[in-house]
Amino acid sequence: MELSGFDREYIYSGHVACPGCGAAIAMRFVLKALGEKAIMVIPACCWSIIAGPYPMSTLRVPVLHTAFETGGSVASGIRAALDVKGDRETTVVTWAGDGGTFDIGFQALSGAVERNEDFIYICYDNEAYMNTGIQRSSSTPYGAWTTTTPGKDWKKMRKKNIVEALVAHRIRYAATASIAFPEDLVNKVKKAKNMKGSRFIHIFSTCPTGWRVASEMSVKIARMAVQTNIFPLYEVENGVKYTINYKPKGYLVKEYFKLQGRFRHLTDNDLDQIQEMVEEDWELLLRKAGVFPGE
Amino acid sequence: MKTVMEGSHAVAEAVKLARVQVISAYPITPQTHIVERLSEYCSDGTLDARFLRVESEHSAMAALIGASSTGVRTFTATSSQGLALMHELLHWASGARLPIVMAEVNRAMAPGWNIWTDQTDSLSQRDTGWIQIYCEDGQEALDRTIQAFRLAEAVNLPVMVILDAFFLSHTYEPVDVPDQEDVDTFLPPYEPRFFLDPENPCAFNQLAPPDIYMEMRLSIQRAMEKAVTVLEGVEKDYGRMFGRNYRAVEPIECEDAEIIMVTSGTVTSTCREVIKELRSRGQKVGLLKVSLFRPFPGAAIRENLAGAKKVAVVDRNCSFGSGGIFAREIQASLCNVPGHPPVYSYVAGLGGRDITPELLKEIYWHTKKEDVPPQDSLWVGVREVENGIIRV
């Protein structure tokens, strides 16, 4: 890993994230990869709070806080204005949660990607509306408890596959990344930074508060999500060229599930079913990457 | 030079003359002619601007919020449902103190689907912190659009320039188009005090707890109050250069008038003729055209109306459960003036129904005849309704 200049921090001390927050770890690495020539758009999400109240800001780059569903559209406008001003150097980055990306902001994101707007859209995914108190989103995984999927009504629908939805737009670059794999994360942000057109990075970001885990488990859980194939690390160029970046260990999903309070209610039978779903998704990904299991 | 052009194209001409840098829009009838013409200007290089063809009005306003925050001059146009969809971001634009200019072509809200003129769409946005200017004709639409940028950038508030659907947006009239050089003198390039800049990283629109939020809101109110006098200055400069001056309100034959009718938008032109006719028949009638709705020009309203015996307000809009919106604002402006005239409120011409000279005369005679105005707005020019069913 290229470490020169990597000791530079772009987050001032004093942000107000919860202990162990994956979204804070993700931001730190992303900014190190981006450098200071960036403008960040933050639609409503945990980071609307984490960045600090007026007149303080924890980030060393200019930030435009904006309405929930405007991550794709506000960034389009900033890019257009920079173009008009002749600034081709500054990277426009949208930094949104899963609610702002998968749900309420999906239309604006789809529109921006269809227009191939020249920006990087980063979704830090903590798999529910965490800032408002752990309500389910379309990114919440099958089996999870949230405050709006309580008791026997735990979520019975699969997590929306946002990367594949954007790949269907023939997006220039789409990648998954994890706070547990910082080298891979930084490389992907740097790669995206050197491209033109719409780029999307989906970062798996543990939420200790919402997932009911201890804060020191944050990175371990993110690592296990990758190792169990629940969240594979891969990238897609131009909507066709798939590359899988990490060979999984083949751990069983129940090892990941049993560490988290949000899955405590699941029976062995439920876990077997989830294991099958994860394997099915993984095989589908392998086929897309041109690897044919069992042939 | 005078050219015959459509109202929509007069707006597009003004946007070109204002050297707007980023335009973003989504199609909706009857606004489309404005952005179609601007698309052509951007495409053939007549206007050196980026045009973002976004996937909704909500995104159109969001894109301009991004562009304006980056420090460039911005414009969009919409109508009705499109404006309603923008609602959240109208608050955002004014709260962020962005001088975005928008042409709003008044169209009725659905259901039922109706593309014709009605002010309820724009008046529903009256509390969003946008300056609102209602235009009477193509010339005013052009002039007001140019003025809007000067005004917006002076007070850091967004401005809505409002046109009646079809009666103005699609009507061809002679319009005096100013020279580019003169407009450049009147409207120099936009120089924002603050903008997104990696050389000077700042955060915008962030969390504002109770100990700071209220002062931010007060600054918007102060800017709105200031906008009344700033617009006077802008108009003075404009008048000096281009010979046209509209003012927040325009009194017509009001000095000795016993009854003053109040209108906004294209109905004003019809009412000007009605006033002439009634005057020729010895009626002491005047007309007050209201152009500026936000900030509401209360002082000018009182100055022109307080001495009349009766006031008759014609509203092409309705706030259900309250009545004609201009009438209610005028009543509020007059209520603390001792011995102020009674205000008669008439709702007419919704959804593009014609407001004819005959109807305006009917309003005048009704006002003259009735000694006391009804508490509620009177709906005029409506069909008979029996058991909830409209007779067709």
Task: Give A118's DSSP letter.
Answer: S
Taking the domains of chain B in order of start, what are their residue ranges? 2-242, 249-390
Predicted confidence at residue A4, as pLDDT, reads 58
B47, B41 in Cβ contact below 8 A?
Answer: yes
Helices (H), B281-340: 298-305, 325-334
Predicted confidence at residue B384, as pLDDT, reads 82
Task: Give A14's DSSP letter.
Answer: -
Predicted confidence at residue B42, as pLDDT, reads 97
Give the residues across from B175 on adjacent strands.
B3
Measured between CB atoms, which of A57, A108, A111 is closest to B203?
A57
Residue of A nearest to B69 (CA): A78
**pLDDT range class, residue B391, cuts 50, 70, 90:** low
B66, A117 in Cβ contact below 8 A?
Answer: no
**pLDDT range class, residue B387, cuts 50, 70, 90:** confident
Taking every pair of Cα atoms in chain A, the longest distance, rounded to a whole number of angstroms, is 60
pLDDT digits (tens, 9 = 90+) for B90-125: 999 999 999 999 999 999 999 999 999 999 999 999
Compute the nearest-CA separation of A111 from chain B (Å). 6
On chain A, the residues whose CB falls within 8 A of the CB of B196 are 39, 62, 64, 78
Tell me the C-alpha distance between A59 and A50, whole Å: 10
Across the beta sheet with B50-53, the strand order is B50-53, B22-25, B74-78, B101-106, B159-164, B131-134, B292-294
Percentage of residues of chain B with pLDDT beyond 90: 97
In the predicted structure, residue B1 carries a pLDDT above the cut 90: no
Cβ B67–A77 below 8 Å, yes or no? yes
Do B2-242 and B249-390 come out as alike in CATH topology?
yes
Kindly list the distances between the CA atom of residue B173 and the CA atoms of A51, A215, B2, B139, in Å, as whole numbers in the listed order.
53, 70, 10, 8
Any idea which residue has 């009177």 for tokens? B378
On chain B, the residues whose CB falls within 8 A of the CB of A198 are none
CATH fold, domain B249-390, is Rossmann fold (3.40.50)
CATH fold, domain A22-288, is Rossmann fold (3.40.50)
Nearest CA among B33, B129, B115, B36 for reference residue B86 = B129
Q: In the Cβ-directed half-sphere of B242, how many Cα atoms lie within 13 Å?
A: 30
In the predicted structure, residue B328 carries a pLDDT above the cut 90: yes
| SS3 track for B66-128 | HHHHCCCCEEEEECHHHHHHHHHHHHHHHHCCCCCEEEEEECCCCCCCCCCCCCHHHHCCCCC
Helix (H) or strand (E) holding A94: strand A91-97
Interface of A with B in 11-70 (CB under 8 A): 36-39, 41, 48-49, 51-54, 57, 59-67, 69-70
- 3 state SS of B213: helix
Instruction: Kindly state the tokens that stand for B339.
Output: 């011995």
Kindly list the distances between the CA atom of residue A242 and the CA atoms of A1, A116, B151, in Å, as whole numbers in the listed order.
22, 19, 53
Helix (H) or strand (E) holding A77: helix A71-84
Predicted confidence at residue A3, as pLDDT, reads 55
Instruction: Kindly state the tokens that stand for B312.
Output: 């008759």
What are the pLDDT tens digits along chain A (295 aa)? Answer: 555 567 899 999 889 999 999 999 999 999 999 999 999 999 999 999 999 999 999 999 999 999 999 999 999 999 999 999 999 999 999 999 999 999 999 999 999 999 999 999 999 999 999 999 999 999 999 999 999 999 999 999 999 999 999 999 999 999 999 999 999 999 999 999 999 999 999 999 999 999 999 999 999 999 999 999 999 999 999 999 999 999 888 899 999 999 999 999 999 999 999 999 999 999 999 999 998 765 5
Amino acid making up residue B252: I
In the predicted structure, residue B253 carries a pLDDT above the cut 60: yes
On chain B, the residues whose CB falls within 8 A of the CB of A76 are 24, 52, 54, 59, 63, 66
Tell me the C-alpha distance between B222 and A6, whole Å: 47
Measured between CB atoms, which of A67, A72, A81 is closest to B70?
A81
Helix (H) or strand (E) holding B33: helix B32-44
CATH fourth-level superfamily of B2-242:
Thiamin diphosphate (ThDP)-binding fold, Pyr/PP domains (3.40.50.970)
Phi first, then psi: give them for residue B175, nearest 5 degrees. Answer: -130, 130
CA dihedral A207, A210, A213, A218 (to 10 degrees): 0
- 3 state SS of A162: helix
Q: What pTM was computed for the model? A: 0.97
Tell me the C-alpha distance between A134 and A211, whole Å: 9
